Structure 1
Amino acid sequence: MSRPAPNPIYTLRGAGGALNTLHFRCNGQDSPLLFSGSENGAVHIWNLNSRRPVKVVEAHTGSSVIWVSTLQSTGSLLSQGRDLQVCLWDLRDGGCELLDSVWTGSVGFCQCSLLETSSTNHLLAFAGQQTEEIKIIELPSKNPVCTLIPEAKLGMVMCIKLWKPESGVGPLLLAGYEDGSLLLWDVTQRSVLSQVKAHPEPVMCLTFDPKRLRGISGSSEKKLSSWMLDSQNNIQLQDSVVLVNPGVSQICIREDGRLLASAGWDHRVRIFGWKKLRPLAVLQYHTDMVLSVAFSDHLDPRQTLLAAGSKDQRISLWSIYNEGSDTG
C-alpha cells in the first residue's frame, strides 16, 4: 500500500503576486536561499533558515518577472521581466546594484537559459524580437554569439535549454515551439541537428538531463512527452506520461536523476520516478495554478527540498524521497 502524500514542511507568503519562477542557491551557503520572481515585478530573496525574505529587489518596475537565476562564480542575480529586459544585479555586501541589462525585444513568456562556460564567461540564450528567433550572447561582454531562426514556420519560441555535452563539442540548445515541435540546435554551427513533433499543442515547458541524454516536455494537453538523444544527436520520442488533468506550467529533474516534478494547471504538483516515469505522489496544497517548481542544490542530498510557486501567491516547500527509497 502506497504511503499518503506528505504535507509541505512550510510555506512562504508575502510575494504579493503569482510566483512565475523559482531558483535555489543553497550549495555551500551558510544561509540557504530561494529566489522567487512574481507578476508584480519583484524578486524576493528568502532565507530558508528564518523563512523570511532578506531582500526584495524591485527588478522590473512592476512588469512581471518570468525568470531568475544566479551566477555560481560571482553570486550575481539575473532576472528577466515582461518589460523586455534581462537585468544583472550585484548582491554583494548586502546591497543590490544594477550592473547591466540586456534588451530582448521578446513579448512572449519564454524563459532565458544560462550556461556558465567558465568562471568569467557565460552564455545567455533568450527569445528575440522576431517570432521564432533565439539569440545567444556572451556575458558579461554582451557580445553576440549567434541568432537561431528555423527555416520552417513553427510559430513562437516557447521554451529553451542551453547545455554542453560531456564529449567536449560546443554547446547545444533545445527549443520548443508554438506548433509543438522540438528542435536541437548546434550553437557553433548555427544549424538544426534534429527536429520532432512532440506535441499537438504549443510546448509550454521542457527540461533535459545531460548525463542521461533524456528530456521531457509538457503542453496544455493531458500528457508529458519524453524523449532521448541517440548517438547521432537525433531526438527520439519515447513513452508519454498520461496526466489526470490537462496543462503543465513547468517541469524539473532533481540533481541526482531520481525524481521529476511537474507544476500543474490543476493546482497540483506531481512527482514521478525519472528512470521509469512511474507516478509516485500528487502534492495538493495550492488553491490555484502551480506555475513553477524547483529542486534545491543542498550539498547534503538528505536536505534537498522541492519548492512550488503558485498563482495563489504562496510558495510551498516539500521534503520528499530523500532517504534512499525506491523511486523507479
Structure 2
Amino acid sequence: MSLPPPDPQYILRGSGAQINTLHFRCDNEGPPLLFSGSGNGAVHVWNLNTRRPEKVLEGHSSSSIIWVSTLNSRETLISQGRDMRVCVWDLGEGRGDVTEAFVTGSVGFCQCSLLETSPGRWLLAYPGEQMEEVRVAEFPSLIPVCSLKPDSKAGMLMSVKIWQKDSGGCPEIVAGYEDGSVVLWDVTQRRPVSCLKVYSEPVMCLDFDSGRLKGASGSSEKVISSWTIDEKQNLQMHDSVELVNPGISQLRVRDDGKILASAGWDNNLRVFAWKKKLRPLAVLKHHTDMVLSVGFSDHHDPRQRLLAAGSKDQRISLWSIYNQS
C-alpha cells in the first residue's frame, strides 16, 4: 500500500500578497534562506531556522516581482519586476540596497534565466522589448551577447531557460512561446536549431534537465509534456501525463534529476518521477488558491532538502519529501 501524501512541515505567512517566485540559498555561509517575490513588489528574505523574514526589500515601485535569484553568494540578489526592471541588490553585512538596475522593456510575465558559464562569469537570458524576443547579456557587466527572434509567428515569449551541457560547453536556450511551441536556440550561432509544437495554448512554463537533455512544459491545458533533444539536436516529444484539472503555473526539476514538481491552478502541488517516465508520485494539498511558484532547496544533505510552494493565498508551504522520492 502506498504511503499517504505528507503534510507540510511548516507554513510561512506575512507576505501580504500572492507569491510569484521562490529561490533557496542553503550553504555554509549562514542559516538556510528562502527568497520570495510577491505581487505587491516586495522580496522577503526568510530565515528557515526562525521561519521569519530577515529582510523585506522594496525596489520595484510596488510592481509585482516575477523572478528572484542569487549571484554566487547570498550577498548578491537579482530580482525582476513587472516594472520592466531587473535589480541587483547588495545584501552584505546587513545591507539591502539596489546597486544596479536595467530596463528590459518587456511587459510580459516571462521570467529571466541565469547560467554560470565559468567561475565568476554568467549569462542572463531575459525577455526583450519586442514580444517574441529573447535577449542574452553577460552578467553583471550587462554587455549584450545576442538577440534571438523566431522567423515564424510564434507570438509572445512566455518562458525561457538558458543551459549548457557541461562546463565549457556552448550555451543553449529552450524557449516557450504563445503559439504553444518550444524552440531550441544555439546562443553562439544566434540561430534556432529545432522547433516542437507542444500545445495549442501558450507554453506557460518550462524547465530543462541538461544532464538528461530532457525538458518539461506546462500550459493552461490538462497535460504536462516532456521532450528531449536527440543526437541531431532535434526536439522530440518524450512523454506526457494528463491531470485531473487544467493549468500549470510553474515546473521545477530537482537538481538530482529524480523528481519534477508542478504548481497547479487547482491549488495543488504535484510531484512526479522524472528519470524515465512522468509517473505521478503525490498530490500535496494545503493551499486555498492557485499555486503560482515552486522550488527545491539546495541543501547538500538530501535528507534536508525541502520543496516550497508559493500561492495566491499569500502563504508559502514547505514540504519534506525525501522518503517519497
Q: TM-score, normalised by structure 1?
A: 0.97
Unmatched segments (≥5 aa) in structure 2: none
CA contact (8 A) 1:28 1:299 kept: no
Aligned-pair distance for 1:133? 0.7
Alignment of 1:59-138 (within 5 A): 59-73=59-73, 75-138=75-138
Count of equivalent residues: 324
What are the Cα deviations for residues 268-313 of structure 1, in whole angstroms up to 9, with x where unaligned?
Answer: 0011111221111100000000000000000111000000000000
CA contact (8 A) 1:73 1:119 kept: no
Aligned-pair distance for 1:113? 0.4
CA contact (8 A) 1:134 1:149 kept: yes
What is the letter of the counterpart of residue 250 of structure 1?
Answer: Q
CA contact (8 A) 2:118 2:168 kept: no
What are the Cα deviations for residues 197-227 of structure 1, in whole angstroms up to 9, with x where unaligned?
Answer: 0111000000010111111100000000110
Q: What is the match of residue 313 of structure 2?
A: 312
Q: What is the match of residue 177 of structure 1?
A: 177
- 1:280 equivalent in alignment to 2:281: yes
Q: What is the match of residue 244 of structure 1?
A: 244
What is the letter of the counterpart of residue 34 of structure 1?
Answer: L
Partner Cα distance (2:75, 2:190) in 1: 30
Partner Cα distance (1:206, 1:129) in 2: 21
What is the letter of the counterpart of residue 235 of structure 2?
Answer: I
Partner Cα distance (2:114, 2:102) in 1: 14
Determine helix, strand or coil for the equivalent of 1:93. Answer: helix
- 1:215 equivalent in alignment to 2:218: no
- 1:300 equivalent in alignment to 2:301: yes
Partner Cα distance (2:240, 2:36) in 1: 30
What are the Cα deviations for residues 159-181 of structure 1, in whole angstroms up to 9, with x where unaligned?
Answer: 00000112843200000000000
CA contact (8 A) 1:17 1:311 kept: yes
What is the letter of the counterpart of residue 257 of structure 1?
Answer: G
Alignment RMSD (CA, Å): 1.2
- 1:35 equivalent in alignment to 2:35: yes
Partner Cα distance (2:241, 2:88) in 1: 37
Q: What is the match of residue 204 of structure 1?
A: 204
Unmatched segments (≥5 aa) in structure 1: none
Aligned-pair distance for 1:30? 3.0
CA contact (8 A) 1:222 1:245 kept: yes
Determine helix, strand or coil for the equivalent of 1:75. Answer: strand
